[in-house]
Amino acid sequence: MSDEGIRLVTRLLLLVAIILLTAAVRTLVGPGRQRGRVMAAGTLGGLVVGVLGSASLSTWFGTDVSTFSALAGIILGWTIAWPFARRFPRHAN
């Protein structure tokens, strides 16, 4: 397999990992609508920060690291959003 093929497969595996990870966190958050909204805002905000930061990181590493920085941004967004989401009840509403 060529270097480009390995990069493509790696990106696809990371994309699947991001999808599964976000689904698992959503399940752990619970059925509360407000909690889901706060965590979704954390997910999107972290994704934006990760993708925006990927330009400078890519030049520093010399390769495209947008997928890794997006994943790191999502986790950072969850870390910031979780204390706010805990304030809402866990039950469905």
Q: Where are the domains of the chain?
A: 3-85
58-93, pLDDT tens digit by residue? 888 888 788 888 889 999 999 999 999 988 887 765
> Residue 86 to residues 30, 34, 55, 74: CA-CA distances in angstroms?
10, 10, 33, 18
Nearest to residue 24, comparing CAs of 43, 2, 3? Answer: 43
pTM above 0.75, yes or no: yes
